[in-house]
Amino acid sequence: MKIVIIGAGSIGGYFGALLAKAGNNVVFVARGNHLRAMQNNGLTVKSALGNFHLDKVEATDDIYSIQNPDVIIHTTKTWQVKDTLPAISAIMKEDTIVIPLQNGISIAEEMQSRIPKENIIQGSCKILSKIEEPGMINHFGDTPMITIGEYNQEFTPRLKRLENTFTNAGIPTIMTDDIEKKLWEKFVLICTGGLISITGTSFGRVREIPETREKLRDSLIEICAVSQKVNGKLELEFADKIMDVIDNFPYEGATSTCRDLWNGKHSEIDYLNGMVVKLGKENDVPTPINDMIYYCNLPREYKARKGE
C-alpha cells in the first residue's frame, strides 16, 4: 500500500515510521532540518514500546511530486490543512483515501472544499510524542492509538483494510460506527488547554483550586451543551467524565496548544475554544466561559501570527 504522510512530525513521523517498518511504501512530507535529516540519515523512533531506525525513507517537501497514493494520512496542525488541499486534490486517484488526524471537529468538512466527501475517512489519534531532534521521533506516555470511521457509519471493506494495515504495523486501531461522537469526545478534552494556557500553569494547579476547577468544569459543560444542539452526541454529564480524566493527568501536564501559545507559536485555538464560541453563536447556546478563554488567548495568538 502506498501511504503518504503529510506532516511527518511528532504524530505523522511516528505512525509513518511504523507503517514503513511493516513494509508499506511510505512517503513522508516534511520541511526544514527534519526533512533534510530524514533524506540524509533516515528516521529514528525512540519509544518505550521499542526503539528502531529506518536507514532509508522517502521524504519530500513537494506534495505535487508524489504519484498515485492509496492513502493520505494528514497530521499537520489544523490551520495548515487548507494550504495543502490543492496539492492533495492534484495527486489523488479516484479511490485514494484521505484520513485527517488533526485535533478538532471541523477538518474533514474543511477538506471537502477540494476533496470529495466519499474519499475521506474520518480519524482521531491518541499519542504523546515529539520531534526530539531532526530525524528523531520520541514517543512517551501511553500506547498510541488510531480510531477511524466512515460517514455512513458502516464497517466497509476499505475501512477493514485500513484497520488491518495499521494493526499489522503495530498501531492499535479501532473501527467505530460513530466517528463523529469520538471526535467530539476528544474535542472536549483538547479544549481544556485553552484555560490552562491563560493561567500560565498546569492541569494540576488548575484542578486543585476550587474556583479554577469550577471554571474548567463549566467550560466543559458548555461544550457538551453545544454538542447537544449541533448533533446530540454528548450528554452534559460527559463533562464529569472528562474531569475524572483530568484528575489523573500529570500534575505539571499541559496541552500542545498551551505550549504553542506560551512559546509564541501559531496555535490551534481557533479550531478549539474558538470553534465552541462560533458554534455556540450559530446555535444560540451561551458559552461565556469559552468566550473568555478564547478572547483572552487571542492577543498572544495574533502576536504569534505576525511573527512578533
Place of cell 478564547: 294
In the chain, what are the domains?
Answer: 2-177 (3.40.50.720), 183-303 (1.10.1040.10)
pLDDT of residue 290: 98
5-34 pLDDT per residue, tens:
999 999 999 999 999 999 999 999 999 999
Q: What angle separates helix 157-168 from helix 12-21, to the nearest 10 degrees?
A: 80
Of 70, 74, 64, 62, give the one whose Cα is nearest residue 12: 74
pLDDT of 136: 98
d(CA 45, CA 50): 8
Which class for 76: exposed (0-12), middle (13-18), buried (19 or more C-beta within 10 A)? buried
Q: Which of 71, 222, 211 is nearest to 148 (CA)?
A: 71
DSSP state of 76: S
Question: CA 135, 81, 113: angle at the middle one, nearest 5?
Answer: 150
pLDDT, position 141: 81
pLDDT at 128: 87
- Give the integer Cα–Cα distance in Å for 30 and 8: 5
Judge if pTM exceeds 0.75: yes
Relative to beta strand 71-74, strand 97-100 is: parallel
Report residue 61: phi and psi, to 5°: -110, 10
Which spans in 117-255 are helix H?
Answer: 157-168, 179-190, 193-199, 203-208, 210-230, 238-246
What are the Cα distances from residue 235, in Å, to 232, 238, 244, 273, 282? 8, 6, 15, 18, 19
CA distance 190 to 233: 17
Give the residue ranges of the chain where pLDDT is below 50. Answer: none
